């Protein structure tokens, strides 16, 4: 009997020790997971701050570049200055107030792009073909929600007017804005001028800035294509704002 009691006591002691070890291991594991989560939170916060600084730097480069191009356009066509200044006032309001916000609505960005096109339109020949189309479903809920990065349309529009032969009746620029299924799309096509260095030169600051902004903000929720088919250059941007919003809400 005494031997049995000793064996039982040993088993109890071993059981207690095992439970204590398991409890300690669980405690260490939970502590390790908590530390891991804290490190992840700090990492993502640090990444967010870096991205914010990058965006601020990119936007500070963008605005003076845009101003210079707009003012050069107006100055070289003084006979249409009154009309141009009216459109410029709208552009300036957007740059000074709306572009400082992290996001604007698709409606606001499209209106801004339309004003930018009107300013550039004063330097084209009357025979030049300029087509601007809008395929927009204004009833979609995200059309007037602030989910779109401001001034993302600048690079497309400026490049089209820069590299097309604006005085040729055989040249053209075609701009299409779309908002369907909570997706913003912009397509710009232009016939490349024979004098244009577009196919030889490296990307300019505007193109580089746009690429970086899209990658930082939208990650894998956008598609950007630029390509030439013969003497026609096409740029196409598509942003799925519904997926972007879902990921923003999930990250909170």
Hey, what domains does the chain have and what are their CATH numbers?
Answer: 50-250 (3.30.565.10)
Q: Residue 12's pLDDT band (boundaries 50, 70, 90)?
A: low
Q: Per-residue pLDDT averaged across 101-119, rounded?
A: 91
More confident residue, 138 or 75: 138
Which range among 144-153, 200-209, 224-233 shows the weakest confidence by mean pLDDT?
200-209
Share of the chain above pLDDT 90, in %: 33
Phi-psi sector, 11: left (phi>0), alpha (psi -120 to 50), beta: alpha
Q: Which residues pair with 180 in a beta bridge?
A: 183
Q: Report how far residue 179's alpha carbon sits from residue 169's, in angstroms, rounded to the nearest whole number.
A: 31
pLDDT at 106 over 70: yes
- Is residue 112 within 8 A of residue 91, CB to CB? The reply is yes
Whether pLDDT at 133 is above 90: yes
- pLDDT number for residue 87: 74
For helices 2-75 and 106-121, the axis angle rounded to 10 degrees is 30
Average pLDDT over residues 109-128: 85
Average pLDDT score over residue span 132-147: 94
- Please give the backbone phi and psi of residue 9, each rounded to the nearest 5 degrees, phi first: -60, -40
Q: Are 131 and 172 in contact (CB under 8 A)?
A: yes
- Is 199 a residue whose pLDDT tops 50? no
Q: Are 127 and 142 in contact (CB under 8 A)?
A: no
The strand ranges marked E within 31-171 are 129-136
Spatial distance between the Cα atoms of 17 and 54, rounded to a whole number of angstroms: 55
Check: CB of residue 137 under 8 Å from CB of residue 179. Answer: yes
Q: Label residue 144 by pLDDT band (50, 70, 90).
A: very high
pTM for the full predicted model: 0.69
Q: If pLDDT is split at 50, 70 and 90, which confidence band does 233 have?
A: very high
Q: Say if residues 117 and 175 touch (Cβ distance below 8 Å).
A: yes
pLDDT surpasses 90 at 184: yes
């Amino acid at each position: 009997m005494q031997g049995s009691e000793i064996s039982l006591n040993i088993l109890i002691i071993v059981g207690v020790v095992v439970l204590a070890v398991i409890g300690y291991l669980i405690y260490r594991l939970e502590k390790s997971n908590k530390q891991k989560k804290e490190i992840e939170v700090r990492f993502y916060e640090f990444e967010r701050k870096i991205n914010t600084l990058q965006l601020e730097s990119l936007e500070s480069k963008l605005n003076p570049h845009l101003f210079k191009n707009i003012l050069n356009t107006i100055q070289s066509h003084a006979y249409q200055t009154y009309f141009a200044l009216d459109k410029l006032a709208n552009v300036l309001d957007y740059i000074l107030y709306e572009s400082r916000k992290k996001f604007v609505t698709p409606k606001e960005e499209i209106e801004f792009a339309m004003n930018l096109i009107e300013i550039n339109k004063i330097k084209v020949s009357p025979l030049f073909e300029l087509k601007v189309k809008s395929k927009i479903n204004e009833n979609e809920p995200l059309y007037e929600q602030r989910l779109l990065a401001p001034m993302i349309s600048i690079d497309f529009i400026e490049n089209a007017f820069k590299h097309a032969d604006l005085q040729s009746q055989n040249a053209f620029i075609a701009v299409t804005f779309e908002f369907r299924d909570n997706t913003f799309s912009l397509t710009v096509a232009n016939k490349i001028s024979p004098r244009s260095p577009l196919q030889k030169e490296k990307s300019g600051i505007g193109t580089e800035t746009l690429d970086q902004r899209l990658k930082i903000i939208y990650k894998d929720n956008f598609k950007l294509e630029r390509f030439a088919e013969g003497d026609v250059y096409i740029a196409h941007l598509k942003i799925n704002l519904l997926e972007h919003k879902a990921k923003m809400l999930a990250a909170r």
